[in-house]
Structure 1
Amino acid sequence: MNRRDDMGEQLLAEHPRGEQWLQLDVTVANLTFDQLERLARLVEATPGLAPVREQLIAALPETGELAGRLASRWVRWAGLFGLPQPDLTRSRRHVLGHPYRLTTSTELDPLYLNGVLGVFDAGLGITAAPATPDGESAYERLTAAWRRVCLPSRFTPASAYGPHTQPALALLRQARDLAPATAARVLAARTALDPRAWSAARSEVHDAGIGWGFPFRSQSLFWEAVPAAEAAADQSPTDPALADALWGAAAAHAFTGRLTPATAALLRTPWQAALRPHPII
């Protein structure tokens, strides 16, 4: 079975902190620059985080499902936050340690990186800390900054992308059940578009998110589209252009009223073109 780029419904249902993981996802999509700076200050002021991180990562079974899914999420968050990607030819534990090794980089802003590490810490603490006294202590330490800065959140999974979240997510759910031929038409329609025009549209969505006050909403929505594209194509990984096409259609919904009509129409084009009735030849 291919591993989709998510935490897995069954794993979350069985995990004692599965609901908290869903909360984390929502807060990441709605993270503000102010929250990121506050996370950074708290992470910087908390001593002894490094050994807690190392112990939890070392204790994860290398071949276990959780380690694999967390490594996949680390790749997703590296892309979301603009961090260098880990070396995927290395072990899962190496991938999980990757964001923390970036603290030695001279090319990344330390304040920004520490804010981002507050998100990785929360993800690690929620999922990997065992239900033991020592595990609960590790959980408390690694999630403290996130809980203080991001909770309670005024957003839920049903409103993570604003007032038009539901149409956007409904489209992605529909995409998961596309027939292979229809998914192929979505991909073909996307690759036929002018790359410069699509890039400009993507930039407009990103800028609209910043203007809205939620700079990571656009990219978070893209990563919602990735597992939908993998399910539609029944292939993991699949062509990024398919995820891009699904993201565009979902973003046109989620960012209703925040994009120019021309941009919204372009973003919908691959989806709408593929779903029009096609004559049987």
Structure 2
Amino acid sequence: MGINKERSAWEKVNMARAQERPSAKQYIDRIFDNFMEFHGDRNFGDDPAIIGGIAQLDGRSVTVIAQQKGENTKDNIFRNFGCPHPEGYRKALRLMLQAEKFGRPVICFVDTQGAYCGIGAEERGQGEAIARNLVTMMNLKTPIISVVIGQGGSGGALALAVADEVWMLENSVYSILSPEGFASILWKDASRAQEAADIMKLTAEDLLSLKVIDRVIMEPNGGAHKNIDAMATILKDRFISTLEKLCSLEEDKLLMKRYEKFRKIGYYKE
């Protein structure tokens, strides 16, 4: 099964945004056993837009961190439509450092249109929180896998996507900003969003060809929402096989491969 090239970039944007698109929590419930959610950043508060905790994956202890959109209107409001505040990123950072301490691999689910850009978030250091995650993930001494399951927007997404393996679901998107924002900046006309999507190179196929990501995960016919169980099984199998390889690497080699990947020097050669 190959990538569906019949769908336009704009169609994939709309699929990634669709309310029926499976949320991170729906995948977590199907992929992992004994998920125990942790709360709070030990500094300001808890952010429901990011969920995280520890779980079992085929008998292996892992740390799971995810951007969570609401599954209905009330839940969306509670979770701020999946747009994290700085305390969400600091909670993620706390869990990453905990994972490093106890030798647990980290699995991240990316699904946000971007970090929350309100006054309160800026006052509490949104930019610093994102930047600290980037630095920490680059040097984290444990394997990291990140998968974009819906929208991957700007630094808000990147803060959970500095990983040894970065994947995208077939109908997800990953970009520096929304097509509407791009069109507003470039042409002063947000109504040209569809045209912007076509030139932004934001689809999984585009980003794989540019080597921004490492793998495209194919979805069931019609999209992940048509068969969540099948999509979760595909992801679970990929996680298990990939962690077997990553966990077998020596720490120095793991970090060097990650460094070279993001420096665009090339992958570490055996």
Length-normalised TM-score, structure 1? 0.27
Question: Larger radius of gyration, structure 1 or 2?
Answer: 1
User: Which one has the bigger helix percentage?
Assistant: 1
Larger RCO, structures 1/2 (Cα 8 Å, 6+ apart): 1
